[in-house]
Chains A and B, each alone.
Chain A
């Protein structure tokens, strides 16, 4: 058999490196701009390197908005949403993938169809429901309306399907019920798929903007994206503060991502994603 010698594909590398420079450019600009003075910001032609590094911008962000509070809210709501969403996704995916019951195809189509509807469409009716339950301006009001997870259900479903039925049959003979089958067989065999789904869910909740905007009125309940938007409005044209705040907003999540990235890609590979 002809075996190709492993040699670095240098043209591909050069192309990718150039591309990654483009991808990184906004981040570089953001980091540099976070230290600029107002004069640098309005300098013409634009200045790339700040004339002096102004660390005060970060302090000013803290003075203008309760930044840590927004941060804490974002993390708290995203984590809660993620766990709830994954819980309902896992149970539904298990029922759809491994249990035989009438109408399973219809239930699947029903769940899938909920993906098509843009959030803006259902926002007001949802708001009416949420406020009649007196949940406006509460964490529950932010969290609960965002936990339906068609995407994660389908993602986990497509992995559950590939768990061999023989494993389940063997467990059945050992006296396992349907409930313990989920925890003893399905979950241990699907940790990667589930953690991928968690990451996807966390990311989308972490970035969510429109719903928290409409359902929070109190400052102390605001999440980070809303806080950033309001900082822009409050400071109007102070770009340097926007950049300082954005920088602080994304660094922790970037770090988390860098640590989980490898695992994330591998689990996608294993899931195979057959939609």
Chain B
């Protein structure tokens, strides 16, 4: 005899609920310590003027938020973050989809090529950033040497406000491309051959077959890639910390996370940093909810 109970009009098995609770316990405990409590603390800290260097910590109401909304650098950080995300996300999406489609066709050395495209993903970001700093060096870096070779004007790369964020973006695309390629490739290989054959039978050429059959079937993965892309591009920190510490020329690589870090740790202003962190959290949250709603309407599930 299985024991049951009823809650809100639905019936549940007691033993099953107990088992679920046991299985969820490790996750709940870690979530409480690593997510809930810290977030609550961030919220309380955002109403204080806690200064790490001097140890002062008093309640100051909404002053931190007032400061942020009038701070030019913070505004710039928001604009930069959106610019960076848009640039990286669109380039990443187009390139990775394109390369995945090519990799899905019948080509020699397929596995080797796939491995090469994924290789940058496994390298510690610190290590690859160090290589790229050298690439971007205006004097002794190979990028400018190549530009000169083709008779193009030299660029200042990381050292000019017009190119610094772009340089970071290019690096991020290189570093993260393989990840998305593999995701798309997985999606492509999941599409049964029969679907494409059916399309050909219906008289579609390969272009039409791609856009009418393959692409819609890839949309759940694209949606996943976009969501992770948004989340990750709002988190990007290591490469900026290594390549353009301090926010780059005229704060052109000052992204929100960098701003939070700089306020909280470089300046020791935990209160202000926490307030900025909350705003960052809110933006990411809103964006992902928006993205989910949009994709619910447009994504094509099999």
Contacts and interface: CB of A to CB of B under 8 A. Distances in A.
Nearest to B187: A273
Contact of A92 (B27, B125, B182, B261): B27
A8 B301 CA distance: 31
Interface stretch (B58-66, B85-93, B277-285): B277-285
B126 A229 contact: yes
Contacts of B227: 275
A95 to B, nearest CB: 4
Interface stretch (B70-78, B137-145, B158-166): B137-145
B43 to A, nearest CB: 10
Given A45-B145, A107-B24, A7 B106 contact: yes
B207 interface: no
**For the side of the interface on B, what is the size category?**
35 or more
Interface in A66-112: 87-89, 91-92, 94-96, 99-102, 104, 107, 110-111
A216 to B, nearest CB: 15
Interface in B102-122: 102-103, 105-109, 111, 113-122
A197 interface: no
B124 A225 contact: yes
Contact of B30 (A30, A147, A178): A147
A249 interface: yes
B120 A273 contact: no
Contact of B224 (A114, A253, A273): A273
Contact of A268 (B23, B178, B186): B186
Contacts of A88: 26-27, 30
B123 interface: yes
B35 A117 contact: yes
Interface string A148-171: 100001000000000000000000
Nearest to A112: B288
B126 A178 contact: no
A128 B130 contact: no
Contacts of B121: 203
Interface string B221-250: 101100100010011011001100000000
**For the side of the interface on A, what is the size category?**
35 or more
Contacts of B294: none
Chain B interface mostly helix, strand, loop or mixed?
helix
Given A243-B131, A275-B223, A24 B116 contact: yes
Nearest to A248: B127
Nearest to A209: B238
B200 interface: yes
A19 B114 CA distance: 11
A123 B265 CA distance: 10
Contact of B118 (A100, A114, A257): A257
A206 to B, nearest CB: 7
A187 to B, nearest CB: 13
A129 B238 contact: no
A128 to B, nearest CB: 7
A271 interface: yes
A258 interface: yes
Contacts of A264: 182
Closest 6 pairs between A and B when the two form their complex, measured CB to CB: A122-B38, A125-B41, A178-B19, A268-B186, A125-B38, A275-B224
9 contacts: A17-B113, A42-B140, A92-B23, A121-B274, A125-B41, A178-B23, A207-B238, A249-B127, A275-B223
Interface of B: 7-8, 10, 12-13, 15-17, 19-21, 23-24, 26-28, 30-31, 33-35, 37-39, 41-42, 45, 99, 102-103, 105-109, 111, 113-128, 130-132, 134-135, 139-142, 145, 148, 174, 177-178, 182-183, 185-187, 189-190, 197, 200-201, 220-221, 223-224, 227, 231, 234-235, 237-238, 241-242, 257, 260-261, 264, 270, 273-274, 277-278, 280-281, 284-285, 288, 301
